Amino acid sequence: MKITFLGSGGGRFATISQKRMTGGFRIDNFGGKNYHVDPGPGALVRSYQFGVNPTKIDGVFVSHSHTDHYGDAEILIEAMTRGMTKNNGIIMGSQSVFEKYKRWGPALSNYHKSNSKNLILVPNKIKKFPSFSIKGTGTIHGDPTGVGFQMEANDFKISYTADTRYFDELAKYHKGADILIGSVLRPGENSIKGHMCTEDFINLVADVKPKLAIMTHFGFKMISANPVKEAISVNKRTGVRTLAAFDGMLVDINEKNPQKSRMIRLKDRFAAHMKQEEVYSNHFSKPNGDKDKKNKNKHYNKNSDFNNSFGSK
């Protein structure tokens, strides 16, 4: 089994700026099936960037109707169904993903829902399939219908909190998890409405006691604080090995001993392409070399100002 992070960023400003990628994550070979979880903006492109095939998925999970979680869901569904020419796979998610709920959703068109099984998840209800079972887990977030999940196959459980603030019952939903994946937007005790901070995740991990914990969905303040240091803090306080996700991180899961799972940095296939483009550009002379360089620097500085404008979020 493998878990691949095609993005570790979250929240509106990290998404807009792409300070961290926002493609969600994949769970591969879970009960023999592959699932893409919360495919936010860039999920399709990041799949190719890190060498995973978007057509080789059996399910798409969308936790709620916020763009950083569903932005690329429809194109991933098209990949799963061979361009909507085949009936294949399952789409799982909150009520608002499938149908309008007050101000939220629907996140998917009727067309994109039509060639796959549809499963609306609600907290504590378990749906069993031949290869796995899935239970909705509760959240308290902007979208009132938002859900996380706990999936089980071959007596192995993966839990995902999705976006939620910490609340007393949260640990009960995720009890028994071998791997706990948490959306942790902010560092330290710096909480924000509808999201967890590191201190919240420490409390959750201490209660759930998974064999391996993974933090993801980082906002600007978490990125600035260094998620690795925050993960080390969780590990020290709870005794549970805790990883901070990064873009292109693959976790090769040791199902018998999850705390010994291997963390791998995937090759960025686009980086090699960019180097090639740079080589090509060096073969062409520029008629106004100094002027072009000056304009390029000017453009870069403008982009830097744009990125810095989100720094306090």
Asked if residue 43 has pLDDT above 60, the reply is yes
Mean pLDDT, rounded, for 272-300? 52
pLDDT the model gives residue 285: 47
**Structural Rg of the chain based on CA atoms:** 20
Q: Which two tokens stand for residue 78?
A: 């098209």
Asked if residue 289 has pLDDT above 70, the reply is no
Q: Can you tell me which residue has the tokens 């292109």?
A: 248
pLDDT the model gives residue 79: 98
Asked if residue 216 has pLDDT above 60, the reply is yes
Where is average pLDDT lowest: 17-31, 256-270, 279-293? 279-293
Asked if residue 138 has pLDDT above 70, the reply is yes
Mean pLDDT, rounded, for 38-49? 98
pTM exceeding the 0.75 threshold for the entire prediction:
yes
pLDDT digits (tens, 9 = 90+) for 219-245: 999 999 999 999 999 999 999 999 999
pLDDT the model gives residue 274: 63
Of 123 and 313, more confident: 123
- In contact, 188 and 198? CB cutoff 8 Å: yes
CATH number of 2-271: 3.60.15.10
Mean pLDDT, rounded, for 121-131? 96
Asked if residue 5 has pLDDT above 80, the reply is yes
Give exposure, 246-273, as e/b (b: 16+ Cβ within 10 Å): bbbbbbebeeeebeebeeeebeeeeeee
pLDDT the model gives residue 277: 56
Phi, psi angles (nearest 5°) of residue 101:
-130, 105
Q: ω into residue 144 within 30 of 0, thus cis?
A: no
Q: Which two tokens stand for residue 282?
A: 């060096």
pLDDT the model gives residue 308: 39
pLDDT the model gives residue 271: 87
pLDDT the model gives residue 278: 59
